Amino acid sequence: MSQPFGAYQNEIYLQGLAGQLPPFTTNPDGLEATAREQLEPGPYWYVAGGAGSGATMRANREAFDHWRIVPRMLTDASRRDLSVTVLGTAMPAPVLLAPIGVQSILHPDGELATARAAAALGLPIVLSTASSNTIEDVAAASGLGPRWYQLYWPNDPDVCVSILDRARAAAFEVLVVTLDTWTLAWRPNDLDRSYLPFIRGTGTAIPFSDPAFRAGLASAPEDDLPAAVLRWVPMFTGTDHHWDQLGFLREHWDGPIVLKGIQHADDARRAADAGIQGVIVSNHGGRQVDGAVAALDMLPEIVAAVGERIAVLFDSGIRTGADIVKALALGARAVLLGRPYAYGLAHGGEAGVRHVLRSVLADLDLTLGLAGHRRPAELTPATLRQR
């Protein structure tokens, strides 16, 4: 039986008797609003903003409102077990921390704080290639916590292999390959401020510490930052890879591989045919294609397309426990939580991330039980009704 995450609400109420309130809000909408007060406009909008008009971000949230949970009664749901195993990774709840880069723009500890908070709860982190900290330092901060590695696929094979080797040596279990961000979308909030952390050397700790990358420089990044930036940026942007190249990744990664950014059933089928172990249904949180379909709208179709052949995970728009219940009911094995924990990081570093994660897990635990279910496996499309 997994830990009773819902007990966090009792802890909050009891602390209130002593005059102690939560460090900041448990409301996801309020969390974003107060994060805006904590951050400068550049970092805030880099996290909160999306592509173009923001239509895809809005669609992601609206899609959850198209589904309603149908609670069942007298199901003996007093005690719940949220634990699952996905692609060999045991986790206390079907929740992973989505790969978010350049976390040092939110808090000086960046990914190190996030890794410590996730490990304390046993939740897997998915470390971004655009991390502000090295693979090895994040692994050390994570300790025995489960961890997956997200790859922005460099177009230099030697650098790619070197990064993969480092991730495996640091005990990252699953490779998550992001497909939808091979070039940056038109993002007005960032463009209006000319705000791109990478060109200032932020979010480049992994390549700049990589021996294969450094071997191609005349001077070390710490001695000639502009030259290093000019080498790295075109190396991980501007090249759209092809299905035929997936064999390269399978050759150099001996664990499960997951493709992130899948939004069409045919692409999910093709991933399964290529021997890929999982896909993440995601539109990058609305940050890449303005006017794209909501990720949740495509989830049932993709699940139906691949059946049990590969694991299907979900990302884009998750804010509440009810959101997680809906995604699981529509067939996701687990979900990736993104912006909320980033706002928690901005509020209070490790403690802020931990508060947000505990809040989301408590909400999930309580919602699952009150809907009449004891474990995620009980959730099916029959749990929901469409508006």
> What DSSP element (H or E) covers 279?
strand 278-281
Q: Give Cα separations from 331 to 81, 245, 265, 271, 328 (angstroms).
A: 18, 28, 14, 17, 5
Q: Partners of 155 in the beta sheet?
A: none
- For residues 173 and 148, is the Cβ–Cβ distance under 8 A? yes
Output the six-digit token pair for 354. 């931990």
- Give the residue carrying structure tokens 């509020």: 347
**Which position among 107, 241, 284, 373 bears the catalytic label?**
284
Q: How far apart are CA 308 and CA 181, in angstroms?
A: 27
In Å, what is the CA distance from 122 to each residue of 83, 145, 265, 273, 386? 10, 6, 32, 32, 33
The span from the CA of 104 to the CA of 30, in Å, is 22
The residue whose two tokens read 């508060």 is 355
Expressed in angstroms, the distance from the first to the final Cα of the chain is 34
Q: CA 120, CA 316: separation in Å to the nearest integer?
A: 24
Q: Concatenate the DSSP letters of all residues of 277-326 into one string.
A: -EEEE--GGGTS-TTPPPHHHHHHHHHHHHTTSSEEEEESS--SHHHHHH
Q: Is 284 a catalytic residue?
A: yes
Residue 332 neighbours by CB under 8 Å, 6+ apart? 94, 281, 299, 303, 312, 313, 314
**Taking the CA of residue 382 as centre, how many other CA atoms within 13 Å lie in the half-sphere pointing to its CB?**
5
The pair phi, psi for residue 142, each rounded to 5°, is -75, -30
Q: Give the containing element (helix H, strand E) for 125.
A: strand 125-127
Catalytic residues, which ones? 284
